[in-house]
Structure 1
Amino acid sequence: MMMVTVMSVVLGLFFVLAGSVKLLGWQKQVFEIQLAYFRSYGLSRRAMAMVGALELSGAALLGLYPAAGALLLALVSAGALSFHLRFDTLKEGAAALMTLVLSLSLWSLL
């Protein structure tokens, strides 16, 4: 059970930070980098905000309905990874791959 808690906390913190930057832009340097990625994929600032909202929702769900939160975060991670692999390289998609594996691992333990 300790492993489930650690995985949930790590995923939750990561996605609260990532989602809040995408929604609020509070960390300007990271925000600008993320926005540049979205624009290079042909996506708008609005799409970036929607992804941020999904990330925050998934993080919140980890506390309320852990399996649903883990699944939502796995879907968001899979989407991010697919865009990175299509438009960038695996290097840019490494974080998405790690969060995908972690989310699916957590989901399988719940």
Structure 2
Amino acid sequence: ERKLVTIVFADVSGFTALSEKLDPEAVRELINACFDWLVPVVQKYDGTIDKFIGDEIMTLFGAPVVHEDDAERALRAALDMMNAIVAFNRANGTEPWSASRYQHRTRRRGTNWRP
């Protein structure tokens, strides 16, 4: 069965450089904390978390649950994910990671939709 699916990827910008500066446990804690803010956004728009790949989250809109407006839901989720990371940075500042150890987290997103 063929479905029209929109995929949204998001990853932590500068993750490799960041992971070289931090203790592995701090890296895991940082990534999990970021994902804790992003997963509810995907769920809000009825998207599906396909997988976590290191510092990346891959989400699907249109599979397995189908909506007429899945592409729009994906774009709205991507925008809200950007806002969630801004809120995450405001809420966490640079703690528990010191500013001298890394800069604020940013996210890059990619969305693809094809018939």
Relative to the length of structure 2, the TM-score reads 0.35
Asked which structure has the greater CA Rg, the reply is 2
Query: Which structure's residues are more often helix, by fraction?
Result: 1
